[in-house]
Every structure is written in C-alpha cells, then in structure tokens.
Structure 1
Amino acid sequence: MLISVLVAQAAALVAHQVQLDDLQTQHIDLQAHLVEPSASGPSGPPGPRGPSGPPGRDGKSGRYGEDGLNGRHGHNGRRGRDGQDG
C-alpha cells in the first residue's frame, strides 16, 4: 500500500513538472503588441467584515501600597490643677 502511494505521488509530481515546463515554453512577445496605459477603473465595493476576535484577558489587580511607618508619640499634656476643697 505504501508503494502504491509513493508511485501515485511520483506520478503527480511528474504531471506538475510537465505543466510547469509547458508554461515556461510559452513565450509571448509583448513588445510586438502596442499596449497603451489607460486610467484605472473605479474601486470595487468593500468586502464583508471578518469575524470579531476573541476578547482580551482580564487585567491584573493593582498592588496594594505598603503600610507607612508609625508616627511619633505626642507630647505629654500639662499637669492638671489640684481640685478645690468642697
């Protein structure tokens, strides 16, 4: 079975090579024909829109900031006054 597949592929390659040789042997003399350039025609209508792409990945959450250093202790308050006798 493998041999028959290889033979079929070889035959296909030979057929393609013959077609390429035929294309190479066809020679067209373009200088013999008088070809004048002309204005290009109008552009065609736009084609249909393609399918939309997949949605993007979700973004990463932002980093939480690190806690700052503790502040200094405040000053001690003033000494209170002695209470009055009743």
Structure 2
Amino acid sequence: MAGNLFSLDDLKSILRQAAGEAEDVDLDGDILDTDFEALGYESLALLEAGSLVERRYGIALDETALTEAHTPRAFVEVVNHQLAPSNAA
C-alpha cells in the first residue's frame, strides 16, 4: 500500500475477492468514474467489499458514505478519508 493510501488497484483486488468480476466488464479499463451497477456490483457486493477493507486496513467505514459511493473514485475517497487520521499520526 504505497504511501498508506487506498488505491484503485486495491479496490479492484477487493472487489474481485468480495464478488468476483462480470465476464463482460474489464476492471482494468478506465472505470474510475463508472457507476458500480454498470460494472455489475450491487450494494450487497459493495458492503462486502467495505467489510474486507475494514478488516484488511483496521478501520471502520461509514456505512452511509459507503452506500452513497456510486463509483470506484467515490469508494476510494471514502476509504482514504477514513485512513487520513492514521496517516497524520
């Protein structure tokens, strides 16, 4: 985890672990601002991904903020916002 920031690559890995990857979706493409539904991920898959992030990084995520994160960019921002206090220490 370079610089203690959560990256898009970290998210892709966790999404694949939490819910797999739809055959017709290329997570390695330009997906940063693509809606999760278009990528084949529903709210339950994102909550599972959030749980994996919490366990892996030892943080607690705001469930409301997580469910309002409709794109990978927004999800990464939610995680990094939570990691920020530990980065400042």
TM-score bin, normalised by smaller chain: under 0.3
Higher helix share: 2
Larger Rg: 1
Query: Normalising by the residue count of structure 1, what TM-score does the alignment of the two structures yield?
Result: 0.20
Query: Normalising by the residue count of structure 2, what TM-score does the alignment of the two structures yield?
Result: 0.20
